[in-house]
């Protein structure tokens, strides 16, 4: 299987160098979004023949000391009225197959996304430049990462110290444009392979990625979301789902779903209603939408990006308002969130 991982530097360089009119767009965020789109493209390619399970249940807090981050729930309670009880059954479109433990203190945001059978986890942060970006992938049993010479010809395999007693190696790209990037692969205790792509670390940093890898543990987990959906017409499929959370005093959490009918897609993004401005289309990695249709319940806002939503698709659910009516928003208290999302 040929997987193109050598185009990242050239695409990001082109993105950074391309002219643009004056705007308030965050260039660092745009570069991170570009990397995320490339990761989604790569994950989708890997999942073409064999299901790829990836993820991270990054329910975050800070360690008691040291400034690093570990996994625990933290979402502030909503001051609004209590949410209705979620359905007793239903499908969760967002699951994880691994959990981050330790993360660098510069990490400010974590994101989990699943599209079909493929998913990935991402931790980002840092000030200035393109910041830190750490992406986690876990391969299914029997699926091995592509090796140099099979689509990764500009990279070299270099043995790395064992991770939790298991074999590990670096994938060293033979291009100076990648001097702040690293790829570490290691075998988990259950035999599967894991991969950690890190960008924005110090040049030749061979300490941080192994420490992150050592804290990763496997284990399937359903992620609760702040809404459930019911009454979707036949033919509407879940194309993707995501949840993005802050670390400490980072950005507000966001979540969302993308529906698909044939080649048409429409996304609904959900944020705390107190968040300044409108939610961006994080599920597609695009800039903040300019035309929105929104509703607010229990301190949570759900919005459709009308500019990206095909009118014919929306007509099948009664327009934007009809689609939003199918969403029950559960508030900002994680205790009211549900894994019974799709009904």
CA 245, 251, 256, 260 torsion: positive or negative?
negative
Residue keyed to tokens 């643009």? 20
pLDDT band, residue 229 (cuts 50/70/90): very high
* Distance of alpha carbon 226 from alpha carbon 339, whole angstroms: 9
Across the range 311-318, mean pLDDT stands at: 92
Yes or no: say if 169 and 158 are a contact pair by the CB < 8 Å rule.
yes
**150-164, 217-231, 248-262, 303-317 — which is least confidently predicted?**
150-164
Q: How many residues does the chain have?
A: 343
Q: What is the pLDDT of residue 93?
A: 92
Higher pLDDT, 3 or 214: 214
Domain boundaries of the chain, sorted by first residue: 8-222, 227-336
Helix/strand/coil for 194: strand
Backbone angles phi, psi at 229, to 5 degrees: -130, 135
With vertex at residue 7, the alpha carbon angle to CA 19 and CA 101, rounded to the nearest 5 degrees, is 105
Q: What is the pLDDT of residue 343?
A: 85
* Distance of alpha carbon 50 from alpha carbon 39, whole angstroms: 17
Half-sphere exposure of 45 (CA within 13 A, CB side): 14
* Distance of alpha carbon 13 from alpha carbon 54, whole angstroms: 27
Q: What is the pLDDT of residue 150?
A: 57
242 pLDDT higher than 80: yes
Pick the closest to residue 333 from 87, 84, 85, 75 (CA basis): 75
Q: What is the pLDDT of residue 98?
A: 84
Across the range 32-57, mean pLDDT stands at: 45
Q: What is the pLDDT of residue 149?
A: 65
71 pLDDT higher than 60: no
167 pLDDT higher than 90: yes
Yes or no: say if 194 and 186 are a contact pair by the CB < 8 Å rule.
yes
**53-67, 187-201, 248-262, 302-316 — which is least confidently predicted?**
53-67
Across the range 7-25, mean pLDDT stands at: 41
The set of residues, in sequence order, having a beta carbon less than 8 Å from that of 273 and lying 6+ positions away, is 296, 299, 300, 301
Please return the burial class of 14, using the count of CB atoms within 10 Å of its CB with bins 0-12, 13-18 and 19+: exposed
Across the range 205-209, mean pLDDT stands at: 91
pLDDT band, residue 247 (cuts 50/70/90): confident
* Distance of alpha carbon 118 from alpha carbon 316, whole angstroms: 27
pTM for the whole structure: 0.73
Across the range 251-261, mean pLDDT stands at: 91
Helix/strand/coil for 312: helix
Six token digits for residue 255 = 């979540």
Higher pLDDT, 278 or 90: 90
212 pLDDT higher than 50: yes
Yes or no: say if 181 and 198 are a contact pair by the CB < 8 Å rule.
yes
256 pLDDT higher than 90: yes
As a whole-number percent, the residues of the chain with pLDDT over 90 amount to 38
Q: What is the pLDDT of residue 224?
A: 95
pLDDT in tens, 110-163: 899 988 777 788 999 875 556 889 999 888 888 888 887 655 557 889 999 999
What are the C-alpha distances in Å from 185 to residues 137, 217, 296?
9, 14, 43
Six token digits for residue 208 = 């941080």
One DSSP character per residue, 34-51 reads HHHHHHHHHHHHHTTTS-
Backbone angles phi, psi at 320, to 5 degrees: -55, -45
**161-175, 233-247, 250-264, 282-296 — which is least confidently predicted?**
282-296
Yes or no: say if 184 and 67 are a contact pair by the CB < 8 Å rule.
no
* Distance of alpha carbon 320 from alpha carbon 267, whole angstroms: 11
Across the range 33-52, mean pLDDT stands at: 47
Backbone angles phi, psi at 278, to 5 degrees: -105, 155
Across the range 233-246, mean pLDDT stands at: 92
B/e letters for 149-177, b = 16+ CB within 10 Å, e = fewer, are eebbeebeeeebeebeeeebbbbebeeee
**15-19, 219-223, 310-314 — which is least confidently predicted?**
15-19
* Distance of alpha carbon 289 from alpha carbon 342, whole angstroms: 25
């Amino acid at each position: 299987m040929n997987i193109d991982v050598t185009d990242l530097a050239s695409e990001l360089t082109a993105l950074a160098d391309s002219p643009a009119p004056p705007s308030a767009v965050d260039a660092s965020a745009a570069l991170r979004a570009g990397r995320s789109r490339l990761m989604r493209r790569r994950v989708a390619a890997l999942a073409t023949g064999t299901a790829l399970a990836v993820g991270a249940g990054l329910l975050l807090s800070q360690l008691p000391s040291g400034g690093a981050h570990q996994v625990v729930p933290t979402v502030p309670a909503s001051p609004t009225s209590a949410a209705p009880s979620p359905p007793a059954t239903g499908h969760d479109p967002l699951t994880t197959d691994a959990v981050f433990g330790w993360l660098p203190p510069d990490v400010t945001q974590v994101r989990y996304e699943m599209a079909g059978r493929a998913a990935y986890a991402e931790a980002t942060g840092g000030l200035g430049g393109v910041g830190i970006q750490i992406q986690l992938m876990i391969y299914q049993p029997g699926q091995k990462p592509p090796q140099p010479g099979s689509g990764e010809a500009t990279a070299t395999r270099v043995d790395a110290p064992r991770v939790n007693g298991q074999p590990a190696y670096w994938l060293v790209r033979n291009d100076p444009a990648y001097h702040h990037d690293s790829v570490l692969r290691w075998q988990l205790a259950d035999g599967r392979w894991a991969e950690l792509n890190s960008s924005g670390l110090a040049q030749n940093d061979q300490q941080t990625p192994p420490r992150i890898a050592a804290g990763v543990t496997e284990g399937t987990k359903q992620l609760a979301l702040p809404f459930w959906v019911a009454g979707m017409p036949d033919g509407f499929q879940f194309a993707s789902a995501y949840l993005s959370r802050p670390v400490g005093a980072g950005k507000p959490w966001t979540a969302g779903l993308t529906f698909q009918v044939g080649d048409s897609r429409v996304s609904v993004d959900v944020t705390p209603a107190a968040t300044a401005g409108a939610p961006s289309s994080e599920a597609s990695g695009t800039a903040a939408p300019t035309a929105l249709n929104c509703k607010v319940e229990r301190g949570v806002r759900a919005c459709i990006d009308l500019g990206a939503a095909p009118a014919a698709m929306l007509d099948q659910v009664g327009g934007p308002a009809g689609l939003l009516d199918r969403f029950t928003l559960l508030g900002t208290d994680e205790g009211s969130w549900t894994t019974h999302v799709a009904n």
